[in-house]
Amino acid sequence: EAAVTQSPRNKVTVTGGNVTLSCRQTNSHNYMYWYRQDTGHGLRLIHYSYGAGNLQIGDVPDGYKATRTTQEDFFLLLELASPSQTSLYFCASSGTIYEQYFGPGTRLTVL
Amino acid sequence: QQKVQQSPESLIVPEGGMASLNCTFSDRNSQYFWWYRQHSGEGPKALMSIFSNGDKKEGRFTAHLNKASLYVSLHIKDSQPSDSALYFCAVNYAQGLTFGLGTRVSVFP
């Protein structure tokens, strides 16, 4: 089964702080995604990528940057974190654009 | 933009009972439909897909698709406590999948 790992699993930062969330997949999938999950909003797509060096904007990109350094690694960057970015973040990968394999999530708290 | 709506928001089902989850979508050009399940503390996991009109059965789970009515459903037969989870309907669009807000299913012994 497809394996997606995320680190850290939990992160607390202060308003204005810098945060990097990491995601690695070991299945040679071309597509990787970053989502945030919030009660009442479901899963919302932040950024995604078709492959190393490629970046695409999702539905809620404001305040987030992303970088895909290799086929396996996808990072989400919050350069000036705000309390509104307190959320549960999921990374996913896919060999096609349809069946996505999710990581275990990172819970981020911005104080 | 694709809109996906799920109902009910939550569902309480006795063990051994039937759970029925509903999903409507807005884009008539949609072709691929998924049900994802998320247990507490975990990431969502694909449960089953349905691409053609009609029913698709996998074990205790049956998905139904009616593209003309913009409707897809999931039925869980003989519900077990391990089925307690958040269930998402997901529909394809240009950027990948749009997820509904989910239905929380609780199965009590």
Q: Which of A21, A57, A98, A102 to mutate to test the interface with B (most CBs of B within 10 A)?
A: A98
Task: Give the Cα separation of B88 and B99 in Å (integer).
Answer: 6
Q: Is B71 on the interface with A (CB under 8 A)?
A: no
The set of residues, in sequence order, having a beta carbon less than 8 Å from that of B57 and lying 6+ positions away, is none
pLDDT at A97: 58
Contact A104 B43 (CB under 8 A): yes
- What percent of chain A has pLDDT above 70? 97
Supply the DSSP symbol for B83.
Answer: G
Using only C-alpha atoms, what is the Rg of chain A? 13
Element (H, E) at A25: strand A19-25
Region B49-76: mean pLDDT is 96
Min Cα–Cα distance to chain B from A31, Å:
9
Q: Is A5 on the interface with B (CB under 8 A)?
A: no
Closest residue on chain A to B37 (Cα): A102
pLDDT at B98: 92
Task: Give the Cα separation of B95 and B90 in Å (integer).
Answer: 12
- Note the pLDDT tens digit of each residue in B30-49: 889 999 999 999 999 999 99
The total of other beta-carbon atoms located within 10 Å of residue A22's CB is 15
> Could you tell me which residue, B96 or B77, shows the higher pLDDT?
B77
- Note the pLDDT tens digit of each residue in A1-49: 669 999 999 999 999 999 999 999 998 899 999 999 998 888 999 999 9
CA atoms within 13 A on the CB side of A92: 30
